[in-house]
Amino acid sequence: MEYDYIIVGSGFGGSVSALRLSEKGYKVLVVEKGKWYKAKDFPKTNWNFRKWLWVPSLRFFGIMKLTFFRHVAVLSGTGVGGGSLVYANTLPIPKSTFFKTGSWSKLHDWENELSPYYQKALKMLGATKTPKLFDADIGLKKVAQKLGMEDKFDATNVAIYFGEENVTKEDPYFKGMGPERTGCNYCGACMTGCRNNSKNTLDKNYLHLAQKQGTKIVAEHEVYNVRPIIAEDGTNGYEISIKTSTKLFTKRKKVKSKGVIFSGGVLGTIKLLLKLKTSSLPNISDRLGQDIRTNNETLVSVSSLEKDKNYSKGVAIGSILDTDENSHLEVVRYSEGSNAWRFLHLPYVTGSTIFSRLAMVLISFIKSPINYFKIYFLNSWSKKTVVLLFMQTLDSTLRFNRNIFGLMSSTVSKGKKPTPFIKESVKLIKEYSKAVNGVSTSFALETLAGIPSTAHILGGAVMGENPSEGVIDKNNKVFGYEHLFIIDGSMISSNPGVNPSLSITAIAERAMDQIPAKNEVYN
């Protein structure tokens, strides 16, 4: 075998797997379809579409991908480090409901089982409570005070090196084994790529250390086939087919590995496995593609009309409000100059049909023409705007299928279909708009089609007691196959209701703990 393990994707699950397997003596290859990005390579603003967006057909090879389905629009990350390059650094631990619901609930006492792994993940990711609050956070604090929830307001735990602002120092996390870091300058550019070397992306911790242990990382390549060798259950290993992902003329090659870990995120892993289930991996559970969750999110922008405020200052998400036992509200910011979202927004309205919503949009323009003129043409959008991220643990699920064109499509599986018009969020949006003297807008697709957006698509290969209940077992092993694992957002088996990256990291750490060291296997 050329490798002991090949890991498909370099996000949170893949990065953890790469480090822990290499520490245990295994020969590891990580295949990532996105590019290597250094601090100087990130776009200065999101107007640089070529470096910000991943649209290969237009030769855009940036760090963020937009994918549209019938029931949800998904924002995801690409590049070495996966979603960590574009995510908002926020690392909350979910409430108890997460551990006690969904297909995995009866497999373990997950809250206690995962507790030490959450702490390990927080340490590895360099989590620190945000030390400063800025205008957008103060607006959320005002909402908390107005609603009598000031004790439910808090600064976020984030994967950022604060240190001395703009001062570069030797690795502060791994006894000098990590790269140099620079103190955060609160520019708000976390989600377009940190050019200040302050964000603790996975290439600066897990992947950096994995390379020191011998892991090989191949960027700008993607896996398109995984075929068992000799034995149908993969006992004798797998042949993995790989092709280039950014070149006009595709090069292909095949490598062999004892085991494979799928870590391409929901959009990568589920799409690939749905294809392979019809060919080389037919024994994958029929549950594949089911139990897709959107974290019950809404994303609504509020643009302040106050001249003396700067809502771009701070980290991407600097504060959080637990609005009730099932819901959370966070304020999200972009750096000054990142105004590209502006023209994709319409007035935020909540009508039940497209016709009623369009009528309300027109009424909004007629009622406040000067305010909307300022938002679209005069004000710096990012400097005056925050995005309110509302999340719930309440559950509803989708199913992803493979259509006749080889693409994924969505259907409603259980519960109500996702909606951008969640009753609890509407009240909070109004309160925040009052607090900052702002006008609310939302992504045009939500207004026109009633389709919500999410940055946290989860599930599709959930845990279960057997193949009729899940795709993987409690140790992330794929039912029906040996040495085949799924370790990414696809494995999340209930709705966390908060940013899920920390949970993915913690579950990945536990999964790797279940795999013995190489010398134990062969002795």
Which sequence positions are flagged as catalytic?
456
Token pair for 406:
């080889």
In the chain, the amino acid numbered 339 is N
395 close to 293: Cβ distance less than 8 angstroms? yes
Q: Which two tokens stand for residue 82?
A: 């996966």
Token duo for residue 447: 């207004």
| Distance separating alpha carbons of residues 297 and 302, to the nearest angstrom | 16
Nearest Cα residue to 297 out of 326, 268, 277: 326
What phi and psi, each to the nearest 5 degrees, are found at residue 196?
-100, 0
Q: How many CB atoms lie within 10 A of CB 507?
A: 28
- Phi and psi for 292 in degrees, rounded to 5? -80, 130
d(CA 488, CA 204): 19
* Reduced 3-state DSSP string for 260-324: EEECCHHHHHHHHHHHHHCCCCCCCCCCCCCCEECCCCEEEEEEECCCCCCCCCECCEEEEEEEE
> What's the CA gap between 413 and 416, in Å, rounded?
9
Give the position of tokens 């896996």: 223
Buried b (16+ CB within 10 A) or exposed e, 156-169: bbbbbbbbeeeeee
Instruction: Give one word for 175, left, alpha or beta, with left for phi > 0 and alpha for psi -120 to 50.
Output: left
The residue whose two tokens read 């309300």 is: 360
Cα separation, 171 vs 181, in Å, equals 6
User: What DSSP line would sit under 116-175, residue for residue?
Assistant: HHHHHHHHHTTEEE-----HHHHHHHHHHHHTT-GGGEEEPEEEB--SSBT-EES-SSST
Torsion of CA 86, 89, 94, 99, to 10 degrees: 50
